[in-house]
Amino acid sequence: VATVGLILFAFVVGGFNEYASYKLANFFSFKEILTGDSAAFRLMSQELLWDEFSATDKTLLIGNGWGQVKFMLGDREMQAVGAEIIVALAYGGIFAGISYLLCLLSAIYAAHQMVEVHKKSEDAKLYEGIMLGIIGLLITGQISGSMNAPEYWMMLGIGIYCDYRVKVIKMNQRW
């Protein structure tokens, strides 16, 4: 069913979304991935974010404010976007960048602790999947930002839940 849905989507997408059609047509093109318009746009945007982050002592510490790095593309004003760590640094400063990394790393660690707690049961596979999913968020977030995707926040919420469950389990073991 999913395959049929994807095939149908691929054939009709050009009628309502030119960019999605272009991305589908060039999905496996190494030239497009490395030097295409999308890659050039992302790299230019990330370079702008980095330049704004490192512009002054103030922007290094507290950033520029969320969404405040903008540029003109033709006659349109665009907001600079890019890899999540660069976005966190540029918009929120060094403390936001560190907080971003600590948040994801603590969620990974909490899921890993749940794997250890449940290593003798089938639940270990579930928590291993959660841990790998959060690692995937960390890695793919450096390729393209996903902070605005609901699944990003759902995975972090699951990581927070894992941290809570580990504490409850350990507390119950003490009693």
Average pLDDT, the chain: 84
DSSP string, the chain: -HHHHHHHHHHHGGGT-HHHHHHHHTTT-HHHHHHSHHHHHHHHHHHHHHHHHTSSHHHHHH-S-TT--EEEETTEEEE----HHHHHHHHHHHHHHHHHHHHHHHHHHHHHHHHHHTTTSTHHHHHHHHHHHHHHHHHHTTTS--TTSHHHHHHHHHHHHHHHHHHHHHHHHH-
The predicted-structure confidence for 81-103, as pLDDT tens digits, reads as follows 878 888 899 999 999 999 999 99
Distance CA 27, CA 138 (A): 22
Average pLDDT score over residue span 143-165: 85
Give the model's confidence band at 43: pLDDT under 50 very low, under 70 low, under 90 confident, else very high.
confident
Higher pLDDT, 83 or 23: 83
Average pLDDT score over residue span 110-114: 93
Which residue has 């839940």 as its token pair?
Answer: 161
pLDDT reading at 15 higher than 70: no
Higher pLDDT, 134 or 74: 134
Higher pLDDT, 45 or 7: 45
Bridge partner residues of 72 (DSSP): 77
Q: What local confidence, expressed as pLDDT, does residue 80 receive?
A: 81
The predicted-structure confidence for 122-150, as pLDDT tens digits, reads as follows 889 999 999 999 999 899 888 777 777 88
CB burial class (10 A; 0-12, 13-18, 19+) of residue 36? middle
Dihedral (CA of 150, 156, 159, 160) sign: negative
Q: Confirm whether pTM is higher than 0.75.
A: no
Q: Which of 94, 72, 76, 75 is nearest to 85 (CA)?
A: 94
Average pLDDT score over residue span 145-169: 86
- Residue count of the chain: 175
Distance CA 35, CA 126 (A): 39
